[in-house]
Amino acid sequence: MIAHALSIVVNELNLHLQQAYNQKLPAVELGNIAEGFRVGATGSGVSQDVLSMSLVNIQEEKTLKNTSSLVRDIPHKKATYENPAVFLNLHILIVAAHSNYTNALLMLSRAIQFFQVRNSFTESSVAPASITTNAPPNALDRLVAFKLIFDLHSPGLEEVNHLWGTLGGKQYPFVLYIVRMLELRFHRVQDAVLIKEGEITYTQLAPSPDAEP
């Protein structure tokens, strides 16, 4: 599901760059910048003259962790027990490692402008082709309903030094985003119980003979 979420965003950004700037596609691709640049069409690594989007960290959103595991199906009078969904915050690195430094800054600026205008993505706000293009072949790995919120993160110099030291390469123009609210849930029901309805009967008592009229 993480791969599908990022593929959707890449497809949306590519569509924007093509429509707004007549950019030749692909202008953005998923790839691990730590693997270096790709040599040949089938080699590993990233392409140099496109924006590269890499996942560099995953954090759990703990504020949404304490939810009920009981899911009620009122029309059928049943309830199922499911472990609560896991909500993730993804740290996404967008790198412009173009051979021409001016083009790298240009493309990075266009990406930042795009996320300034479009910082939220849902299944109803993206193009249908963005959901299906490069989607995982197994339906269990695809997102159905989603809301991805992009927040710009400004790391300090020490954090930047650690980041690029971990990636094992020299620093390129980049921007870092935190993608919030990616929900991961495997829809396997563990148990089911019958919801029993209770009835309350009210009985009107006869007045006491000693009661005053």
Note the pLDDT tens digit of each residue in 1-21: 899 999 999 999 999 999 999
Tell me how far apart the alpha carbons of residues 114 and 125 are, in angstroms, rounded to a whole number. 14
Q: Which residues of the chain have pLDDT under 50?
A: 189-195, 198, 200-202
Q: Residue 155 is part of which domain span?
A: 2-194
Q: Provide CB contacts within 8 A for 25, sequence distance 6+.
A: 14, 17, 18
pLDDT at residue number 45:
79
Domain annotation covers residue 212: no
- Domain count along the chain: 1
Proportion of the chain above pLDDT 70, given as a percent: 74
- For residue 109, being part of any structural domain is answered with yes
In a domain? residue 199: no
For residue 130, being part of any structural domain is answered with: yes
In this structure, is residue 208 part of a structural domain?
A: no
Amino acid 65: pLDDT: 61
213 is a domain residue: no
